[in-house]
Amino acid sequence: MDGAKEYGLRNVSSHCSISEMDDYDLSKLLEKRRINTERKRSFDDRSLSELSIGLLRGLDHFDSSYSPLRSVVDSPASSDQNSFEPHPMVAEAWDALRRCTVFFRDHPVGTIAAYDHASEEVLNYDQVFVRDFVPSALAFLMNGEPDIVKNFLLKTLQLQSWEKKVDRFKLGEGAMPASFKVLHDPVRKMDTIVADFGESAIGRVAPVDSGFWWIILLRAYTKSTGDLTLAETSECQKGIRLILTLCLSEGFDTFPTLLCADGCSMIDRRMGIYGYPIEIQALFFMALRCAFTMLKHDAEGKEFAERIVKRLHALSYHMRSYFWLDFQQLNDIYRYKTEEYSHTAVNKFNVIPDSIPEWVFEFMPKRGGYFVGNVSPARMDFRWFALGNCIAILSSLATPDQSATIMDLIEARWEELVGDMPLKISYPAIESHEWRIVTGCDPKNTRWSYHNGGSWPVLLWLLTAACIKTGRPQIARRAIDLAENRLLKDNWPEYYDGKLGRFIGKQARKYQTWSIAGYLVAKMMLEDPSHLGMISLEEDKQMKPVMKRSSSWNF
Ligand code: GLC
């Protein structure tokens, strides 16, 4: 087959596949897999196809009435997307974002974390962080500029294949870097790359979120461009499988959630989020669903797809049952008996009611709820975390009722969670003795600062996406207005401090790229909600909780 013909054919098949990808329902996808499997029965391992039929039992069908959105493919993003109702900040933001572009051998491959000339300490803010690049990538995709995103995905994929070591210990093959840096040698006219998989990071923690963001971004690229050829390459398929191998491996776990060290995600310092942090669980769930839509139907792909489906079932049940907190559930925990043994235990993790912090009783509105920060034996971290809750909405880890209830909470506790600058990374701050014990006396994470209850403008895009998905664009509008009052004037700080987020963060960088990109993404999504499709997955009815833990999100 000649090159042009092959290209043409591939294009056709891409368009077929992307419409398949619109079909968010796992059950439908599995059904298609089953049909394909049956068609190819003579080639395939019979027991494998039976296994996937077994997995199909009890599947519902997707309720399309839930989504008010057009698909991105129906309305491809174009370069004039940001041209209507231009706020003066939008043009400034684009200029600032473009200044952050990093080139490798003349090709754009990412954006640096911050372009702050005034700061004496560069640390690693001159690097391309995987998680920080996500809002930049979405901004470029929404503006019809996918090349930088494709280059980034391929470059980080190459880095994944590096041998990664901390001292004498070798990391898992699938680990993705937290960040990388391009070194320009002006004499030899050579560009080289150094990457950090945690071996240079403060605290030496591997970024568990990087691989998940990579998968989520690959789907966003595919969805936005309609180009399935990238995800279909054997390199990308292998990259996905390596990441999955890391997080689906069997061990001593009794829970389907992913066990993590402290500081392995956006909150990359010790903040008492070791165990099963909501941010990682929500990203894990979303990455599994995204990977499912992109895995090829070959033998290896099928095997992983089946493992994904099983894990998704268990994970969504666990999260929706044990991480969910609303007024009713809080009341139930308050009255928990302890020291229960055997399968009949109600208080399965032996949470001692006395460990419920005072603030939760005040904070919990009659109408409202959220996924708590962490659940493990005798430990519930009742703190509210923005990223995990927004990703839970976008990935449909939260049911439509739960999503609406999370938004109710944000509205009811606007002052606490949004205040003067969207959005608090976590609530509330930890202080005094608890701060000493939990953070190890971290001077950067003092109360209401940085990761400890600081306000991060980057989270605006996640809030906006969650608002659009739940049909509450007016909340996003309010939040964007707040950001527009300050962000440009303050030179796009990394974070704000204080109970209301009124002060530029103590050690915040200026011209923090994801603050800039986050604003642009929020603006573009609100202008054209069809962009949401690249970062959102519809509910899958098959994963509905078996029992509802409380009635307050059942309006
Ligand atoms: C800080 C943040 C981290 C971010 C990095 C680069 O370390 O905690 O989430 O990726 O800065 O901006």
- What pLDDT does residue 124 have? 79
Residues enclosing ligand 1, CB less than 6 A? 113, 129, 131-132, 266, 268
Query: Residue 514 CA: which ligand 1 atom is closest?
Result: 12
Distance CA 433, CA 429 (A): 12
Return the closest-CA partner of residue 454 out of 422, 411, 408, 492: 422
- DSSP H/E element including 400: helix 400-412
Question: What pLDDT, on a 0 to 100 scale, did the predictor assign at position 25?
Answer: 43
pTM, two decimal places: 0.85
Exposed e or buried b for every residue in 4-37, given b needs 16+ CB within 10 A? eeeeeeeeeebeebbeebebbbbbebbbebbeeb
**pLDDT at residue 375 in the model:** 97
Specify the ligand 1 atom closest to the Cα of 129: 10
Pairing relationship of beta strands 379-385 and 369-376 according to DSSP bridges: antiparallel
Gap from CA of 204 to ligand 1 centroid (Å): 14
Give me ligand 1 centre to Cα 10, in Å. Answer: 39
Average pLDDT per block of 10 residues along the chain, 555 residues long:
31 33 41 40 26 29 29 33 70 97 97 83 85 98 98 97 89 94 93 92 90 98 97 98 96 94 96 97 98 95 95 97 97 93 89 96 98 96 98 98 98 98 98 97 97 98 98 98 97 98 97 98 97 94 51 32
DSSP 426: E
CA dist 191 and 173 (Å) reads: 25
Pocket test for ligand 1, best of 268, 283, 445, 494 (most atoms within 8 A of CB): 268
* pLDDT of amino acid 342: 85
CB count, 10 Å around CB of 520? 25
Among protein residues, the one whose CA lies closest to atom 9 of ligand 1: 266
- Per-residue pLDDT, 542: 65
Q: What is the best residue among 210, 266, 456 to mutate for testing ligand 1's pocket, by most ligand atoms within 8 Å of CB?
A: 266
Closest C-alpha to ligand 1, atom 3: 266
Task: Please give the structure tokens belonging to residue 422.
Answer: 């969207």
- What is the Cα–Cα distance from 275 to 376, expressed in whole angstroms? 7
Sheet holding 426-427, edge to edge: 324-326, 369-376, 379-385, 426-427
Residue pair 305/33 in contact (Cβ under 8 Å)? The answer is yes
Helix H or strand E encompassing 281 = helix 278-294
